[in-house]
Amino acid sequence: MEDNFIPVIGLEVHVELATKSKMFCRCPADHFAKKPNTQVCPVCLGLPGALPYTNKEAIFDTIKFGLAFGCQINLLSKFDRKHYFYPDLPKGYQISQYDLPLCYSGKWILESGKEIRIRRVHLEEDTAKLVHQKVNGESVSLIDYNRSGVALMEMVTEPDFDNPTEVSEFLRNAQLIVRYLGISTADMEKGSMRLEANISVKRKSDPKEFLPNYKVELKNINSFRFLEKAIAAEIKRQTELLASGRKPIQETRGYNEETDLTFSQRTKEEAQDYRYFPEPDIPPLRFEVEEIERIRTQIPELPRQKKERFVSDFGIPVNYAEILVSDLEKASYFEESVRLGKEHGISPKFLADLIVNKKMQDAFPEPAGLVKKAVELMKRDFASYEETKNAVLEVITEEKKAVADFQAGNGRVLGYLIGMVQKKLKGRGEIKTIEELLKENL
């Protein structure tokens, strides 16, 4: 019965921008681990009569991110008031964007070739932070306003995802692009990147464009792995409800990793419940086409383009390129090593192999150190493949207990076997080749 249903998943991705000051005032934006309520002013405390003014850097960073995802840019944009009551929202409303966001109608192509549509990327202010703790033996909730008013960028996708794996791939790319652009650390442990998923389930027999008339929002997700498990659990819950003839209610839910179940938090609000209207204290934002194009020229080479260039220009395997571009610092380290290695006739693939498989960047903080080591390795008299293979077979024959332990699942014994092969070869064997031959023959 469950095979008759398919998931419909959309995402909301919140990213705290790494601006020096907050979105609508001059208070410092770096709030992590700071003494509570020490980075506040009348504006971010929401005191009566305080007037906000916009952070230009945050606006340009948001446009830059939208362009990286192929979005259109609204040449006329504005801020709106989003009304709701919660203790972490001192004004009783949040300054956000509603019908005229900065960016709209973008897209991202997954590795499978599937297109994910980006509905919008907009800018708003972050809320304060609730701290739950015990005071004199009593459970209380305290409020730290240091985070209140920090520039918060939100990306909203269309419900184009079918499974948790697609969601994870997309989000990892989004995080990487944010870091390449230098607009945020996107550190999920520190809360500078926060994830929400909207999940529904429909029958396979429904038309492709059909969307269920409900959705469940998963909130408070702090890792990609956690999100994958939460989505899978919620899909299972909804599928079982629909299979039994019941319809899931529209609500916000959390996820308990210990029970592998989602749990209800509150009923989900609709847009009209927020009573949006234009923010009267902030003038509309107007942009010229030339201004947007100038921002576009500031976008650096992004991970996907860098990966394709590493493969085509340097001749390295795709999996090597993926590892190298997964961190901008590592990618830059590799490129500088290639530049220096060219003078010594060292191939980019040889350098990539050292970085990816032997983590030479940890041992040699400077690319020059890696190149020096590479030159030494190239001068060594390595054992031939046949010589290495013979030594491997001899060790497998001689070290029966170690071999039995490895085959019983003790992976740690592999290092011992490699060492015994190297002993036979008097240190002339290539570790990677020895390891591959051992695994192949065990």
What integer pLDDT is reported at residue 23 of this predicted model?
98
In whole angstroms, what separates CA 33 from the centre of its chain?
Answer: 22
Residue 11: pLDDT above 70?
yes
Q: Of 386, 388, 379, 382, nearest to 424 (Cα)?
A: 388
Phi, psi values for residue 418, rounded to 5°: -60, -40
The Cα 262–Cα 235 span in angstroms is 10
* Phi, psi dihedral angles at 35 (to 5 degrees): -60, 130
Closest CA to 159 of 198, 121, 120: 198
Tokens 């008299």 label which residue? 381
For the cut 90, the answer to whether the pLDDT of residue 296 exceeds it is yes
Sorted by sequence, the CB contacts under 8 Å of residue 65 that are 6+ apart come out as 15, 103, 121, 153, 155, 177, 178, 181, 183
pLDDT at 372: 86
- The DSSP code for 21 is B
DSSP assignment of 230-260:
HHHHHHHHHHHHHHTT--PPPEEEEEETTTT
85 by Cβ neighbours in 10 Å (0-12 / 13-18 / 19+) ranks as: exposed
DSSP label at residue 199 = E
| pLDDT > 90 fraction of the chain, expressed in percent and rounded | 73
10 vs 70: CA distance, rounded Å: 18
pLDDT bin (cut points 50, 70, 90) of residue 1 is very low
Mean pLDDT of the chain: 92
Residues of the chain with pLDDT > 70, as a percent, come to 96
- Predicted local distance difference test score (pLDDT) of residue 271: 63
β-strand 193-203 against 5-16: which pairing, if any? antiparallel
**What letters, b where the CB count within 10 A reaches 16 and e where it falls short, cover 97-113?**
bbebbbbbebebeeeee
81 near 94, Cβ under 8 Å? yes
Residue 29, classed as helix, strand or coil, is coil
Alpha-carbon gap, residue 166 to 157, rounded angstroms? 13
What mean pLDDT do residues 303-313 have? 96
Average pLDDT over residues 308-323: 94
pLDDT in tens, 82-111: 999 888 999 999 999 999 999 999 999 999
Tell me the pLDDT tens digit for each residue of 69-79: 999 999 999 99
- Look up residue 116 and give its two tokens: 């994910």
Burial class (CB in 10 A: 0-12, 13-18, 19+), 12: middle
Distance CA 141, CA 91 (A): 18
Rounded to two decimals, the pTM is: 0.84
In this predicted model, which residue has the larger pLDDT, 148 or 409? 148
| pLDDT score of 61 more than 60 | yes
pLDDT in tens, 327-373: 999 999 999 999 999 988 888 988 998 888 764 445 666 899 999 88
User: What is the helix (H) or strand (E) element at residue 109, kind and residue range?
Assistant: strand 103-109
The pLDDT tens digits of the residues spanning 111-165 come to 999 999 999 999 999 999 999 988 888 999 999 999 999 999 999 999 999 999 9
> What's the confidence (pLDDT) of residue 385?
81
Q: What is the greatest pairwise CA distance in the chain?
A: 84
